[in-house]
Amino acid sequence: MISWPSRIAAPLILAGFVILTPGCGDRKPAAEPVEEQPAAIAEPTPGERLQNAVDVWSATSAFHFRLALENRVIPLDAGGLLTYTTAEGDVVTPDRMQAQTTVRTPVGNAQVAFISIGDRQWITNPLSRQWEAAPAGTAGAVASAFDSRTGIGATLSGLAELQYTPDERLDGTPVYRLSGILPGTVLAGFAADLSAVPTLQVDLFITPADNRIRRIVVRQPATPEGAVPSWTFDFSNFDVPVPIEPPL
């Protein structure tokens, strides 16, 4: 399985004086007050923005997620007969995750649920829909994506070739975008085949008010047919814990 300090200083300096002209008694008018301009606030660098977002992510105690894949599937079994392309669920740190998905099987689709607590995992049987103990790793990319040592939070700090795009919107909410690259081996916990991918393109969509990562899009290199496999994670309900307990 982020605001920056600001400093505004605007003292008003009044420089007025009176000069008496000998023999006349005339008085010069007071000089106009001079207003000191506020000191310019340095814009954070893309690297600083990234670190702020990762720090907030690392301090998050719970969140809801949705995962959607395009032009690829996640295998549920070693033979690849059971696959899925979407998942939705909740994560409670440090090591609890529950998710639901629709699994494609040779005889049709079936609803499947996962629960992962530490190194223990459970899954509902696609046929009987009863909970069963599952070998570690059965939840595959979903659980690995949120692992505290190898998942999203632990790998995003390694984004290279960062680019910052301000003033975007995500579902009507103002966000900024950080784009960069990661080697495929860094995200092999999502899916084993990514270990052979040299470079992944990554986009983070972050709300500037709180430095929350609201969406992560990971794009693999195009296939020989020209398709671009991608993973899209959406996050919400930050720090709202949900009960995740063993089903058996």
pLDDT in tens, 109-130: 989 999 988 888 899 988 888 9
Dihedral pair phi/psi, residue 211, rounded to 5°: 60, 35
Dump pLDDT digits (tens) for 194-216.
888 889 999 999 999 999 999 99
- The reported pLDDT for the residue numbered 142 is 66
Instruction: Answer for the pair 146, 1: CB distance below 8 angstroms, yes or no.
Output: yes
Total number of domains in the chain: 1
Mean of the per-residue pLDDT values of the chain: 81
Question: Which of 27 and 201 is assigned the larger pLDDT?
Answer: 201
Domain-located, residue 38: no
pTM of the model: 0.79
Structure tokens at 191: 């899916």
Domain-located, residue 7: no
Domain-located, residue 15: no
Dump pLDDT digits (tens) for 42-95.
889 999 999 999 999 989 999 999 999 999 988 777 777 888 899 999 999 888
Domain-located, residue 243: no
The CATH number linked to 159 is 2.50.20.20
Domain-located, residue 70: yes
| Confidence band, pLDDT 50/70/90 cuts, at residue 144 | low
Give residue 125's domain range. Answer: 46-236
State the sign of the Cα–Cα–Cα–Cα dihedral 177, 159, 181, 63: negative
- The reported pLDDT for the residue numbered 151 is 72
